[in-house]
Amino acid sequence: MFHTMGETAGEIWRLLESEGPLSISALVKKLKRPQTAVYMGIGWLAREGKLGFTETKRGTSISIKK
């Protein structure tokens, strides 16, 4: 499971880097990973201080922290 979290975190990083801010549902859809794995990957990157979170009318937008 730990390996899967790291892989998913890397995929999230690359996707956000190429496409810009995305919602969690968009990340799940584009990565074709289980929602649980995406949440764990987000948590991994957030713990390292690499993500920014913005509340929008439709939910939370996640981006790479500058």
For residues 48 and 32, give the distance between their C-alpha atoms in angstroms, rounded to a whole number: 24
Whether the pLDDT of residue 66 is over 80: the answer is no
Q: Going from the N-terminus, what domains does the chain have, and what CATH number goes with each?
A: 2-64 (1.10.10.10)
SS3 (DSSP) at 35: helix
What would the mean pLDDT of 42-50 be, rounded to a whole number? 95
pLDDT in tens, 28-41: 999 999 999 999 99
Closest CA to 41 of 59, 4, 56: 4
Q: What is the pLDDT of residue 32?
A: 93
pLDDT of residue 2 exceeding 70 = no
Given a contact cutoff of 8 angstroms between Cβ atoms, the answer to whether 11 and 28 are in contact is: no
